[in-house]
Amino acid sequence: MKKEEKASISIIKIICVTVIMILISGIAVLAVNTNLNDVKIVLQNGYEMTALTSKTKVSDIIEENNIVLNENQKTIPDVNSEISAGQTIQITDKSYNEVQIATISEDGIETTLDQLLDNYAPITEKIVVEQVTIPYETVTKNTTNSSENTTSKVLQQGKDGLKEVTYKVKYQNNIEIEKTQISEVVIKEPVNKIVQVNKVTSRSSLPRTTSTTGGTTYKITAYCSCSKCCGKSTGRTASGTTATAGRTVAAPANFAFGTKLNIGGHIYTVEDRGGAIKGNKIDIYVSSHSEALQWGVRYLPVNVVQ
């Protein structure tokens, strides 16, 4: 009997050991086949814990770790978010503002995080082709000394030209931040408007000049005090006077300020200068930009009044 009992006990031991080995093997296989991630959980009181989990949804992970949120608490990221290994779940009060970051720029202006991130938004480039009008010029043909009895006559109508300009444009947050011209191609040349003018001037009304009919022919243009003409709108001349229509002209440096010039039968005073006023070119001051455009370009004799 003792031998039979010992044999039974041995069989039971073998069966137990076999069962244990099977269970251990199953657990090992289950662990190998399950993707476990370590996730850090930070409670509202600041306590930190690391959880080993196969879950990826925030709500499932906190439930798995027996964490219950009260009505005034929330998680960052929110409970419906999916997270991966190494990420953190923060439990905090609902009134907590996730973005509380601000910085002070070099100019002392407070800048929010969103504004800072906008500055680091990707910059995109596009090639843009635009058609631009080339305005025609008005050229005056002076026939003062001719025998024709014509005060004003259009010899040729002006026509605007057209060109294609190619730009490289940079955008950030769909806003144009830089525009650089790459090339331009003239599609149609402008046609100048030619006006014939026969202006009769009474010599008795003019101051004495070196010559009222001869003199050197100058290219005469017109300008006003707007920013398009001068880059400023103060109306102050280079000599310090206030520009006045019918009196002020911008002339090259070989004409001293205050010099009286007879231009096409009218007396002007040199009171201004200009970067483009060189050689045989003089700019007459007029009262408006439209009047300057209407003047166009004229070639008139110029004499110094003695």
Most confident of 14-28, 38-52, 112-126, 259-273: 259-273
Pick the closest to residue 193 from 155, 227, 240, 222 (CA basis). Answer: 155
Return d(Cα 298, Cα 101) in angstroms, integer.
65
Q: Give the contacts of 6 (CB within 8 A, at least 6 positions apart).
A: none
φ, ψ of residue 149 in degrees (nearest 5): -95, 65
Q: Give the contacts of 180 (CB within 8 A, at least 6 positions apart).
A: 167, 168, 169
Mean pLDDT (the chain) is: 77
Q: What is the pLDDT of residues 167-211, one digit of tens each?
A: 999 888 788 888 888 998 989 988 888 877 665 444 433 344 344
* Domain ranges, ordered by start, for the chain: 37-91, 123-197, 203-304
Return d(Cα 51, Cα 83) in angstroms, integer.
13
In degrees, rounded to 5, the angle at the alpha carbon of residue 16 between the alpha carbons of residues 13 and 18 is: 110
Quote the pTM value. Answer: 0.34
**For the domain 203-304, what is the CATH superfamily, name and number?**
RlpA-like domain (2.40.40.10)
pLDDT band at 295 (very low <50, low <70, confident <90, very high): confident
Q: What is the pLDDT of residues 40-90, one digit of tens each?
A: 888 888 888 888 888 889 899 888 888 888 888 889 888 898 988 888 998
Return d(Cα 262, Cα 214) in angstroms, integer.
11
Name beta bridge partners: 37. 53
**Where does 37-91 sit in CATH, by number?**
3.10.20.90
Q: Is the pLDDT score of 33 beyond 50?
A: no
**Where does 123-197 sit in CATH, by number?**
2.20.230.10
